[in-house]
């Protein structure tokens, strides 16, 4: 069964390594499969591994996370080599070589990326009665075509958010305002997102859960929000904008309003494709965040240079990072985005001033 599936897999060749990253159809999960080194003598094995080592470490630039994955592959391969060496030793010492277990290399499947299979329930995500024109090979469900059978930006919105003011209000701001800590450094994180990863679009008949409080990629709703600032937008929506190269600004509703305003001014002055929304899952130490495809920047205070650097570096990334069309979701829109003076609809000039 598994082998039948594997024949239809899309494969991404990790550029240098003797391994592939594969995505079973209809999933957001990759799988690292080392090439079978074939029957080799111990010396051949070690030479071959040394070649990979050299390959990897000669490269000045690897993609984010690529080295980590390559290290994983190598350690798995080395394990096989060592097992074989121990078997050889046992043989030459006249012991029973079959006492030494050698794990065949094909049995090693590496780490799951980005999620282990149990964490997402992906089967049957497309409603059975969905007409063909709403289906697509890449995302499961097409993007941007509103349909009351799946998602039109209006139906079943409470699946993502129950419209509670708790998600955008600072109750008792006198006592609960989060103190700004000017000396607390910001935290920038990027995760490795494989190049051929395409997030799945999921209709409003299902919940979408993320396994992290600050997702930077992942399955989302087919209809994305109009770029701009909102009273509140659920993560299941704004993750779609990020796939189109947007930068999302998140802030805890109890953040100092002046600090929120400084960040808002920088973001709107840098990039048209932005979303601004309150978010209650940020830490109290760093109640402000910027999110772009694969990357986040969590902040306690606003440093202009840092914010602009982040937006210039990571804005317009994402698998459809050049896509400029506006979305069809407007629930809670306060202010539609405009491009900053000196740039254009396509955000051809990030942070122009
Ligand atoms: C709204 O806030 C509550 C309380 O923190 C939380 O449990 C809920 O998940 C939030 N909803 C959204 C959509 O963020
Ligand atoms: C909306 O929710 C109802 C009840 O859960 C469900 O039967 C229906 O299929 C949903 N509609 C869409 C478009 O997801
Ligand atoms: C999410 O999944 C990844 C990949 O398995 C794992 O490394 C990470 O710890 C998970 N995060 C959370 C918050 O569970
Ligand atoms: C955006 O367009 C540029 C120029 O056409 C291209 O080099 C780049 O790969 C595109 N980026 C994405 C994410 O599609």
The bound ligand whose nearest atom lies closest to the alpha carbon of 314 is: 4
Domain containing 41 equals 2-99
The pLDDT assigned to 6 comes to: 28
**156 alpha carbon – ligand 2 mean position (Å):** 6
Whether residue 57 is contained in a domain is answered as: yes
Does ligand 2 lie within 6 Å of residue 155's CB atom? yes
Predicted local distance difference test score (pLDDT) of residue 172: 87
Does residue 167 sit in the same domain as residue 202?
yes
353 falls within a domain: no
Residue 191 CB neighbour total at 10 angstroms? 15
Query: Of 65, 99, 133, which residue constitutes the final position of a domain?
Result: 99
Q: Are residues 90 and 150 in the same domain?
A: no
Domain count, the chain: 2
- pLDDT value of position 310: 98
User: 149 and 236 share a domain?
Assistant: yes
Question: Considering only CA atoms, which of 214, 292, 302, 307 is closest in space to residue 256?
Answer: 302
Q: Are residues 83 and 152 in the same domain?
A: no
Same domain, 79 and 126: no
Choose one of 99, 128, 143: the last residue of a domain.
99
Q: Within this chain, do residues 293 and 341 fall inside the same structural domain, yes or no?
A: yes
pLDDT tens-digit map of 226-262: 999 999 999 999 999 999 999 999 999 999 999 999 9
Ligand 4 nearest-atom number relative to CA 245: 13
Is the CB of residue 348 below 6 angstroms from any atom belonging to ligand 4?
no
Q: What is the position in ligand 3's atom list of the atom closest to the CA of 113?
A: 4
Say if residue 286 is in the same domain as residue 163.
Answer: yes
| Ligand sitting nearest the alpha carbon of 119 | 3
Asked whether the beta carbons of 141 and 206 are under 8 A apart, the reply is: no
CA of 31 relative to ligand 4 center, distance in Å: 26
Single pTM value for the model: 0.72
What SS3 state is found at 22?
strand
Cis peptide bond N-terminal to 23, omega within 30: no
CA distance 198 to 53: 30
CB 280 less than 6 A from any atom of ligand 1:
yes
Which residues form the pocket of ligand 3, taking CB atoms under 6 Å from any ligand atom? 112, 114-116, 211-212
Instruction: Confirm or reject: Cβ of 294 under 6 Å from ligand 4.
Output: no
- Report the pLDDT value the prediction gives residue 136, as an integer from 0 to 100: 76
* Residue 298 domain-assigned (yes or no): yes
Q: Do 128 and 95 belong to one domain?
A: no
What 3-state class would DSSP assign to 60? coil
Pocket test for ligand 2, best of 149, 157, 159, 204 (most atoms within 8 A of CB): 204
Nearest CA to ligand 4 atom 4: 322
Reported as half-sphere exposure (CB side, CA atoms, 13 A), residue 36 has a value of 6
Residue 113 included in any domain? no
How far apart are the C-alpha atoms of 148 and 203, rounded to whole Å? 10
What burial letters (b/e) apply to 193-212, b meaning 16+ CB within 10 Å?
A: bbeebbbbbbbbeeebebee
Q: Does 77 share its domain with 123? A: no
Is residue 171, in this structure, part of any structural domain at all? yes
Residue 109 lies in a domain: no
Q: Based on the domain organization, do 257 and 307 belong to the same domain?
A: yes
Asked if 168 and 221 sit in the same domain, the reply is: yes
Residues 248 and 299 in one domain: yes
Please indicate, yes or no, if residue 110 is contained in any of the structural domains.
no
Q: Could you list the mean pLDDT of each consecutive 10-residue stretch along the chain, which spans 353 residues? A: 28 44 53 59 66 59 47 67 80 79 58 45 63 78 90 97 97 90 94 70 90 88 97 98 98 97 98 98 97 96 98 94 95 98 96 94
Q: Is the CB of 322 under 6 A from ligand 4?
A: yes
Q: Check residue 110 and give its pLDDT.
A: 53
Look at residues 92, 11, 78, 83 and name the one whose alpha carbon lies nearest to residue 49: 78
């Amino acid at each position: 069964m598994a082998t039948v599936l594997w024949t239809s897999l899309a494969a991404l060749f990790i550029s240098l390594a003797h391994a592939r990253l594969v995505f079973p159809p209809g999933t957001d999960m990759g799988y690292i499969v080392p090439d079978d080194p074939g029957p080799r003598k111990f010396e051949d094995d070690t030479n071959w591994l040394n070649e990979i080592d050299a390959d990897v470490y000669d490269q000045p630039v690897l993609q984010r996370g690529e080295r980590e994955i390559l290290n994983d592959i190598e350690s798995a391969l080395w394990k096989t080599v060592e097992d074989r060496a121990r078997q050889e030793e046992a043989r030459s010492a006249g012991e029973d070589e079959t006492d030494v277990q050698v794990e065949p290399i094909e049995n090693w499947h590496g780490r799951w990326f980005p999620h282990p299979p149990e964490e997402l329930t992906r089967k049957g995500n497309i409603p059975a009665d969905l007409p063909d024109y709403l289906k697509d090979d890449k995302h499961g469900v097409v993007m941007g075509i509103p349909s009351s059978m799946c998602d039109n930006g209006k139906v079943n919105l409470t699946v993502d958010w129950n419209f509670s003011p708790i998600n955008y209000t600072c109750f008792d701001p006198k006592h609960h305002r989060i103190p700004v800590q000017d000396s607390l450094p910001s935290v920038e994180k990027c995760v490795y997102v494989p190049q051929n990863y395409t997030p799945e679009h999921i209709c409003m008949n299902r919940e979408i859960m993320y396994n992290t409080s600050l997702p930077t990629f992942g399955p989302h709703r087919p209809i994305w929000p109009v770029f701009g600032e909102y009273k509140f937008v659920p993560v299941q929506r704004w993750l779609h904008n990020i796939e189109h190269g947007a930068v999302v600004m998140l802030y805890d509703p109890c953040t100092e309003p002046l600090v929120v305003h400084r960040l808002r001014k920088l973001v709107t002055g840098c990039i048209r494709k932005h979303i601004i929304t309150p978010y209650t899952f940020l830490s109290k130490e760093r109640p402000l965040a910027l999110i772009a495809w694969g990357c986040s920047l969590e902040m306690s205070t606003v440093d202009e240079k840092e914010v602009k650097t982040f937006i210039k570096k990571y804005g317009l990334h994402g698998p459809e990072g050049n896509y400029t069309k506006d979305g069809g979701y407007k629930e809670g829109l306060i202010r539609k985005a405009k491009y900053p003076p000196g740039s254009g609809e396509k955000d051809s000039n990030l942070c122009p001033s």
